[in-house]
Amino acid sequence: MSKNVWMKLCAGLLAAQVGVVFAGATVSVPPPAAATPENVVRQTVLRLVPKATIEQVTPAPLPGFYQVIASGHLVYVSGDGKYVLNGDLIDASKGISLTDDAWATYRKTELAKVPVSDRIVFAPEHPKYTVTVFTDVTCPYCRVLHGEIGALNKEGIAVQYLAWPRAGVTGDDGKPTATYKEMVSIWCSADRNDAFTAAKKGGEVKAATCKNPVKDQFDLGLKLGVTGTPAVYAEDGTLIGGYLSPPDMLEAVKEHSAAGG
């Protein structure tokens, strides 16, 4: 979480006061929760970023600190609430990022909650590997990646798409964005795969509405820290990155797959 994000929202310190005045009326604030380290950590985060959605607070590998996942960011907060660390926590003895490992574990758990029936899947008959891709129908590299879907499948890689309209669900006017509506139409099409491929080629998709997971998938992306598309995740929850050529994608997924090399 950038310093700017934390500093700009530090006005939220006012919310910790015993009384808050709005238009001359005093609103009582409930007494603070018991001062356990976990609650102190939560209160620290919310004091700095009042609108943060805290997803997880767990003891960190760093003694005296807790690992906090909130609103698409992972930070470390001391149990007494005095310190916040933003950055990679490195295991010096192994030379690995414990932050990356923590993110991967969390993302794997959350992605597993999305049923395959809510995804758009392009897979070979007997896939060896699977990647989950947050995608937008208009982004150039998403189109390049999908243009190579046959080559990816030939490498044994199943691609499972989740919707992530880059323009968001609603615009500044409060109305659904054009990209969001197009992705809803795709997910509501009789043949999602055909509609998806047509859209990736710049074709027109027939407008359709239904109960769909597009907003939920967009929100999930924010929760997992997605900031752009394509966002490609390996089976173990590791963020591989954005577009990769089929040979490079194969090497990346081998490294993070239960199937191994």
C-alpha radius of gyration, the chain, whole number: 21
- Residue 256: per-residue pLDDT: 84
Other CB atoms within a 10 A radius of the CB of residue 84 amount to 17
**Could you tell me the sign of the dihedral formed by the alpha carbons of 29, 31, 34, 35, in that order?**
positive
Residue 242, phi then psi, degrees to nearest 5? -100, -135
Taking the C-alpha atoms of residue 243 and residue 261, their distance in angstroms, rounded to an integer, is 21
Tokens of 70: 């909130």
Instruction: Give the residues of the chain that fall short of pLDDT 70.
Output: 1-34, 258-261
Q: Compute φ and ψ for 56, nearest 5 degrees.
A: -160, 135
Spatial strand order in the sheet of 54-59? 54-59, 65-70, 73-78, 84-85
CATH number for the segment(s) 3-99: 3.10.450.70
Architecture field, domain 115-255: 3-Layer(aba) Sandwich (3.40)
Euclidean distance between CA atoms 98 and 119, whole angstroms: 30
pTM, 2 dp: 0.83
Q: In the prediction, which pLDDT does 255 show?
A: 87
Note the pLDDT of residue 258: 63
Helix axis angle for 192-200 and 140-147, nearest 10°, is 120
User: pLDDT digit string (tens) for 104-133?
Assistant: 999 999 999 999 999 999 999 999 999 999
E strand or H helix at 217: helix 214-223
CATH fold match for the domains 3-99 and 115-255: no
Indicate the domain borders of the chain: 3-99, 115-255
Cα of 213 vs its chain's centroid, Å: 15
